[in-house]
Structure 1
Amino acid sequence: MHADTFSRTFTVEEAASACDTLAGLTGLPKARIKDCMVKGGVWWSRPGRSTTRLRRASTEVKPGERLEINYDPALLALVPAQPELIAKAKHYSIWNKPAGVLSQGTRFADHCTLPRLAQAKLGSRNELHPVHRLDREARGIMLLAHDGKAAAKLGELFRQGAVAKEYAAIVRGIPDWTDLEVDEPLDGKEARSRFHVIQSDPASDMTLLLARIETGRKHQIRRHLHGLGHPVMGDPRYGRGNKLVEGLQLMARSLAFTCPFTNAPKQWAVPDLPFPLVD
């Protein structure tokens, strides 16, 4: 973290605007407080209510309420890549998430998350809800619900295994198999992945795979492929000899389900990863 990074919680002692209160308590300029608030680094706790992000600088806070500020100037300075809208329905939308964009925010910020970026692109007053996750370093299709009720309905599809997701990955090495199912547990929980070889390139010693997962453990595809000795190229966490300046070569390439609002079958896909990679 940046040397000036901090996280502090204060109990409000006198009524004032949130911005003025935090500026007085932290010594930060009001412009920096406002920037931190807009980007999701300030949280507001009131008696009898759940803690929420506080974005409006002029909001009046009262004695006994609590303000939490999480300030990281390096994080706040980040400018995220913009997502692409693939399809929009009444209750949800489908997006192509760029690498580097988060699925969900942290206590410090949410301006680099897909829901916030998508909300701005749609011009929506309501916050959007991620129904599933995709690693920050990965790219590809993600589903966002437009309200809490839609998120619950769509989330149930995932819990029931009624959503078909397919991933593409470029890995190091040439597998000696064409199709393989892996059921190696992860973090003490069952984890099942299926892999299918699309194309190998002996010149670069790389292979393009399709992956399907029946469970959703953290970094499941990346960890299973690493365990097989074929780590994903560009993975900053798993594997050796797989570094790549282009970044992680893992993409959520397709998504399909029966819409719970119309009962119509839906399917979306993004273009495949370029292969073989060109220097």
Structure 2
Amino acid sequence: MWETYPHSRISCINLNSTPKHVMVEMSEQHRRFKCQQNITHTGQTVIDCLASLTDLSRQQLKQCLQKGAVRLRHGRKVRRVRRATLALQPGQQIELHYDSVILAQATPAIQPVADKVRYTVWDKPAGILAQGTEWGDHCSLLRIAELVTKRPVFLVHRLDKEASGLMIIAHDHHAAGQLSHLFQQREMFKQYRAVLSGQMTANEQHFAEPLDGREANTTIQRCHYDAESNQSHVTVTIGSGRKHQIRRHCAAAGLPLIGDSIYGQPHSGGLQLRATVLHFPCPLTKQQQHFELNDK
């Protein structure tokens, strides 16, 4: 039976006779729901199980699979499943997270800045995630890299969704571990360009305020100040990688980033933060590597 909650767009269906649960949110242009089913017997494929759970067409369900909106749980292990004909096994749980807006988003057509075989370097556009969520992954950099390179992919570090710039994607477990170690040991030099709201009077400022109880170091160097817009153009280097580190340190100093909707004010041009330089001793070749974006 359906249970509808007054004054809400959330509806639930909970059928006691079968181990499935569906939550639905709908508007005229946006449909969003999630459902799950415990698998108790053999002989059912992914597409058949999903078709029994929802009113989506098989073509729509195949799109959900291709775009990473379907996952399988078995104990503590969770993985995306993309093959419609995969046979399900008892003890598994299948999950579908459907969001019509997310699934309708077009995948950005991007290519790596550099291909070092065991890892690639990318210029992540603003607005896309480093990796997918339960609602899909077709617009994430990790999935794009997998499709473009046709190799396994491993996330080494992250950039905020709203930020743009250089990111490294590894293509084997060993490379991923070695490159991740560089970030952990602070052997990866990272530089950013940013635009701040307000006038930075000093040529250089250093922030060492801990974030979330952990050490955090940020250095900002002034490039120029635009008096008409009251904006400071700066370069930023960080000695750690805390969540929203640059954004939080700048906001705390009274110089929030332009377009920072969390710690400052939204802007039509989006968040003005771009990762422009990566420099590091490659642990795989033992050679120095330097990648830089020279766009203005």
The verdict on a shared fold, with TM-score over 0.5 as the criterion, is: yes
Give 2:87's match in structure 1, choosing from 60, 68, 75: 60
**How far, CA to CA, are the matches of 1:62 and 1:29 in structure 2?**
23
- Does residue 217 of the first structure (1) align with residue 245 of the second (2)? no
**How far, CA to CA, are the matches of 1:248 and 1:84 in structure 2?**
22
Partner of 1:117: 144
Unpaired segments of 5 or more residues in structure 1?
Answer: 275-279
- Does residue 43 of the first structure (1) align with residue 100 of the second (2)? no
Give 1:246's match in structure 2, choosing from 269, 272, 278: 269
Partner of 1:7: 34
- 8 Å CA contact retained: 2:211, 2:242: yes
Deviation sequence 1:163-200 (CA, Å, 0-9, x none)? 00000001111112111110112222221111100111
| 27 and 118 in structure 1: CA distance in 2 versus 1, 3 angstrom threshold | same
- Does residue 71 of the first structure (1) align with residue 98 of the second (2)? yes
Unpaired segments of 5 or more residues in structure 2?
Answer: 1-23
- 8 Å CA contact retained: 1:83, 1:114: no
- The one-letter code of the counterpart of 1:33 is L
* DSSP-derived class of the 2:112 partner: strand
- 8 Å CA contact retained: 1:97, 1:141: yes
**How far, CA to CA, are the matches of 1:45 and 1:167 in structure 2?**
39
Q: Larger deviation: 131-140 or 60-69?
A: 60-69
Partner of 1:86: 113
- The one-letter code of the counterpart of 2:136 is A
Q: Larger deviation: 26-35 or 134-143?
A: 26-35
Deviation sequence 1:193-238 (CA, Å, 0-9, x none)? 1110011111221111111111111111011111111111111222
Partner of 2:20: none
**How far, CA to CA, are the matches of 1:54 and 1:84 in structure 2?**
25
TM-score by length of 1: 0.91
**How far, CA to CA, are the matches of 2:271 and 2:70 in structure 1?**
31
**How far, CA to CA, are the matches of 1:2 and 1:155 in structure 2?**
39
- The one-letter code of the counterpart of 1:77 is A
Q: Give 1 or 2 for the bigger CA radius of gyration.
A: 2
Partner of 1:128: 153
**How far, CA to CA, are the matches of 2:203 and 2:231 in structure 1?**
14
Alignment of structure 1 residues 1-279 onto 2, 5 Å: 3=26, 4-14=31-41, 15-46=43-74, 50-122=77-149, 124=150, 126-240=151-265, 243-272=266-295, 274=296
**How far, CA to CA, are the matches of 2:25 and 2:94 in structure 1?**
22
Structure 1 residue 2: Cα displacement:
5.5
**CA RMSD of the aligned region, Å?**
1.7
Q: How many residues align?
A: 268
* DSSP-derived class of the 1:247 partner: coil
- 8 Å CA contact retained: 1:80, 1:101: no
Q: Larger deviation: 86-95 or 36-45?
A: 36-45
- The one-letter code of the counterpart of 2:174 is K
- The one-letter code of the counterpart of 1:24 is S
- The one-letter code of the counterpart of 1:34 is K
* DSSP-derived class of the 2:113 partner: strand
Q: Larger deviation: 14-23 or 61-70?
A: 61-70
**How far, CA to CA, are the matches of 1:235 and 1:84 in structure 2?**
27
- 8 Å CA contact retained: 1:254, 1:270: yes
Structure 1 residue 38: Cα displacement:
1.1
- The one-letter code of the counterpart of 2:32 is T
Structure 1 residue 105: Cα displacement:
1.2
TM-score by length of 2: 0.86
* DSSP-derived class of the 1:95 partner: strand
**How far, CA to CA, are the matches of 2:263 and 2:111 in structure 1?**
28
